[in-house]
Structure 1
Amino acid sequence: MQRTKWGGVVDGVSGSGFFRVAEHNGVFWLIDPDGGRFLSKGVNTIRFDQDHVGQTDRVPYAKACMAKYGSPHIWRAAAADRLARWNFNTVGCWSDELVAGAGSRLLASTPTTELGASFRLHRRDQIFPDVYDPEFSAHIRVSAEQRCKHRRNDPGLLGTFIDNELYWSPDWRGTDELLTLFLNLPSHRPGRIAAIAGLHEHYREFSQFNSVWRTQARSWDELGRIEHIAAPFVRLRPGVLNDALETKANLTDRAREAFSADCDAFVAVVADKYFELCVSAIKAADPNHLVLGSRFGYQPLSGVIAAAGRHLDVVSFNCYDFDPGPVIDAYAATGKPCLISEFSFRGDDAGLANSRGGGPRVPTQTERARAFEGYVAAALSKPNVVGYHWFEHADQPAEGRFDGEDSNFGLVTIDDQVYDELTQMMTKVNAAAERIHAAAVPAAV
């Protein structure tokens, strides 16, 4: 199988000089700058300075690599060549992007701009950025100009992630709905004003609204002034089983059904506005590269997925299951190619506690390698998948990193010793990826 310098399969297709997407016989692919049929096989957090211990200045991986290689420069070249030997072709999120060009083979890069997250950090009262705020539009335009424009002519940039794991609805971080979060912004915030206006337009009569929401207010004006609006119901995190339970609950309670509809309608509108503004800002600064989405941390509501599909070049999501198939199918509804931007398996024989961190635990490194094989084969059998990025390059500190995670996520130990069984399996599966994906059967329309 002849390959381009980027690792794509030579098909006699002319390259555009940049990565793009294409569909062939119902199967999606990336096309590399030289025209090669390409799947993004990536690793996240490829860094010399990966993971401080807690809130300290100690970086065990950097200490070990300094002793082993003598300098970050030599480490970059060694790390890049090792990844290429394992048939990876992409430097994933939070990595040292100098690794991409440090080895004997070129690697693509996929940075994140954190447009929404960086705006939220300016507004400490916001869990999700207020997309109705005129300052949000101004902020992301300036941020995209600063973070994207200088890369606009870089052939090695596969594409840009907008954000990482934003809060769209109840999840592991809390039970709040996006609608209630916006309703509880300070009264002068544009997002709160827009949320109340949307409810007013839908219900018209305040009494109809209050029969569902059961607030202490007696009018729309008073609703705009009260300090806290409590949700009348608490919904489960989205997912196949929970969605079925929610549907059953709504059938027995009309008020709950109306509340759910209010929340679903609002998050769909916010998502559409978020993706429209962010994609527009990035494309204005860099019209040559793909926008890869915002790395959904879990499968959000269908209205959010639909909004992503309307605006993105590629929909990205993190999926820490043994079988990613059902989640991939949910995103396939967009009709857009999808990228698994984070997944992993942790082995309990690595000498780490694995007490914090996402994803399944398995007893041994042998089972870890088999889990990778099964996961990637299942993903590549789906026609809309164009890549998969493993989390992450090196193990986390036994004492825990900044958020306490202490897991065996690495391809290498914290002393830079290779996990042979896992990387040998990765080498084999990565080499066969295009053949597996070419055999994917398009879903019936």
Structure 2
Amino acid sequence: MSSESTDAQSFFRVEANESGRWSFIDPNGEPFISLAINHLDDSDLRYPHNVEVFDRKYASRKAWTKGVVRDLQDLNFNTIGWTSQYISGGWGEALDWFGDPVDLGHSSPWPDDHLLSAGMPYVVQIRVQEIEDWNGHPAFRDVYGEDFQKYADWIARRMVSDHKDSTNLIGYFLVDIPSWLPHASGRFWPGFEGLTPEEHDKKLFDVATQYYKTVTEAIRRYDPNHLILGDRYNGNKGIPEAALRAMTPYVDVLSVQYFTGKTDDEYTTMIEDLRGWHELTGKPVVIADIGNWVPTQMNPHRTSDMETQAERGGDYANGLAKVVAEPWIIGWHWCGYIENLGRGWGIKDPNDEFYSEMTDQVRDANAAAQSAIAGSAEGNKS
């Protein structure tokens, strides 16, 4: 795809066909299911234990970026996902959204020019509030104040300026797993103390409405052409109905992070939760972060209901097939890329080699998913 266009029809959009199947529509007018890898960061090859691998294979971040694109295309991924990586903090903290305050350090996202020159679809995050569940020091800024209005305008202006004409940009994410439910730190927006449940929900709806209105109007002021993919909600923790109702008029896609085990019952629960939120909002769903892991030589303590990389691959294929069967799910963004000491799992080992018993199955599953979407579109035309 080219990187520039002035024709609004040449940008990604979402729509449902006559049979009710949702999909992204790419700039060529073809249905597109977004299959991405998240947490693509060269810090994973800059540890003392493997920096020589980076130096030997790439020597520069630009060369490494080209290697990422080759890997994605080899495995039939079609999207560069969220590019920030978890690089510090204890693993127990990463899952304890309701316990002690979490404090997970993340790397910076890819530079704009690296995304633009990659030559494949990608997403951009606009971090409009520092209210993530993984953030040990959240800052719930007053969404009604003049300072937030000015900040939203500035960050939108800054973040869209290099991307507003790109035909490879799918759209803009907002905050990664924002805390619309109580944060583990005990912090929240001001004015919620002592409210009844009904008063809390009403105030939450008002705050969330102001938040989404301010942010999305700022984005569309400078880029009216690209999709707004919204907050990447924490599906495992839950999403308040008030926040979803507030989001609905302003955002194009419902984006939800959701991690599940390998059993059919767990996938059924996930899909039922997602379906409920889809029906409430009327928005197609992108599973914005999902993954699995097993004990490895580097991270023997990262246990799960699987034990081998082959099981991981089988779970990937099974999960993706279940998701593609739902006509309202339009994206599957996988966590993550290179195993490191922070997150502790990936599709590549710490020496930058594929876990091939997994990735051979990933490659085939991705191809099958894309064929299914293309086939449903052809069937609708006939």
TM exceeding 0.5: yes
SS in 2 for 1:80: helix
> Any conservation in 2 of the 1:165–1:294 contact (CA below 8 Å)?
yes
1:142 aligned residue: 154
Give the unaligned 5+ runs of structure 2.
Answer: 84-108, 262-266, 378-382
2:166 aligned residue: 154
Distance 2:242 2:197 in 1: 13
1:69 Cα deviation after fit: 2.9
Q: 1:140 to 1:102 in 2, by over 3 A?
A: closer
1:88 aligned residue: 77
Counterpart of 1:384 (choices 324, 328, 351) is 328
> Any conservation in 1 of the 2:8–2:225 contact (CA below 8 Å)?
no
Q: 1:126 to 1:414 in 2, by over 3 A?
A: closer
For CA contacts below 8 A with separation 6 or more, give which structure has more relative contact order: 2
2:352 aligned residue: 416
1:428 aligned residue: 364
Task: Flag the structure with larger Rg.
Answer: 1
Q: 1:60 to 1:387 in 2, by over 3 A?
A: farther
1:339 Cα deviation after fit: 0.8
Distance 2:116 2:51 in 1: 20
Q: Which piece of structure 1 moves more, 262-271 or 69-78?
A: 69-78
Distance 2:32 2:339 in 1: 28
Deviation per CA, 1:220-254, whole angstroms, max 9, x where unpaired? xxxxxxxxx5x5xxxxxxxxxxxxxxxxxxxxxxx
1:73 Cα deviation after fit: 2.8
Q: 1:310 to 1:125 in 2, by over 3 A?
A: same
1:109 aligned residue: 122
Q: Which piece of structure 1 moves more, 126-135 or 288-297?
A: 126-135
> Any conservation in 1 of the 2:12–2:226 contact (CA below 8 Å)?
yes
User: Root-mean-square deviation (CA), in Å?
Assistant: 2.9
**Which amino acid is the alignment partner of residue 339 of structure 1?**
V
Q: 1:309 to 1:59 in 2, by over 3 A?
A: farther
2:234 aligned residue: 297
Distance 1:330 1:420 in 2: 36
Deviation per CA, 1:112-169, whole angstroms, max 9, x where unpaired? 11012299xxxx9964332122211111011110111221111111111111111111
Counterpart of 1:369 (choices 291, 310, 313) is 313
Identity %: 23
Q: TM-score scaled by structure 2? A: 0.78
Is 1:307 the counterpart of 2:209? The answer is no
1:99 Cα deviation after fit: 5.6
Q: TM-score scaled by structure 1? A: 0.68
Q: 1:81 to 1:114 in 2, by over 3 A?
A: same
Distance 1:118 1:282 in 2: 19
Q: 1:277 to 1:332 in 2, by over 3 A?
A: same
Give the unaligned 5+ runs of structure 1.
Answer: 7-13, 53-57, 184-194, 196-228, 232-257, 441-445
* Structure-to-structure mapping, 1:271-420, within 5 angstroms: 271-298=208-235, 299-322=238-261, 323=267, 324-333=270-279, 334-355=281-302, 361-397=305-341, 401=342, 405=343, 407-408=344-345, 410-420=346-356
> Any conservation in 2 of the 1:41–1:88 contact (CA below 8 Å)?
yes
SS in 1 for 2:310: helix
Counting matched residue pairs gives 332
1:364 Cα deviation after fit: 1.2
Distance 1:361 1:339 in 2: 25
> Any conservation in 1 of the 2:339–2:348 contact (CA below 8 Å)?
yes
